[in-house]
Amino acid sequence: MKLVKSLLTASALSGLLMTASIAADADLIAKGDKIFNSKTKGNCFACHDVNGKKIDGPGSFGPKLVGLSYWDDKLLYDTIYDIYTARGLKISAMPAFGKTGWLDDAEIKAVVAYLKTIN
């Protein structure tokens, strides 16, 4: 009986932690969405259209973002932080958002969370 009670308690606690984690993820995704679509922060939509998302006036200068849910988080982060180093590029229209200080670490992580919702 003591084992069953311990298992039920552990199950309830892990359920609470999972709920808190999902809520935190939703908040992070919402923050990333706001940065992505903000003209004063990321302004990503100025160059990128996004598969499966309704964006008001997406740009066409950069590639359409597709299948990012399958990308590695670190590669997405590094690409936003400094596309030149992450991809070994010498020329890109995309700014190195992190390296230049345009976005801080938390903001880049939020954008990554949002990008991971793109199929």
**pLDDT (mean) for 35-46:** 91
Decide if 48 is inside a domain.
yes
CATH number for the domain harbouring residue 86 = 1.10.760.10
Helices marked H in 1-119: 2-36, 73-81, 83-87, 105-115
Rounded to two decimals, the pTM is 0.77
Q: Which of 3-7, 66-70, 99-103 has the least mean pLDDT?
A: 3-7
Helix axes 105-115, 73-81, angle to 10 degrees: 130
Q: Look up tokens 């302004």; give the residue.
A: 43
Count of the separate structural domains present in the chain:
1
Task: Supply the pLDDT for residue 56.
Answer: 72
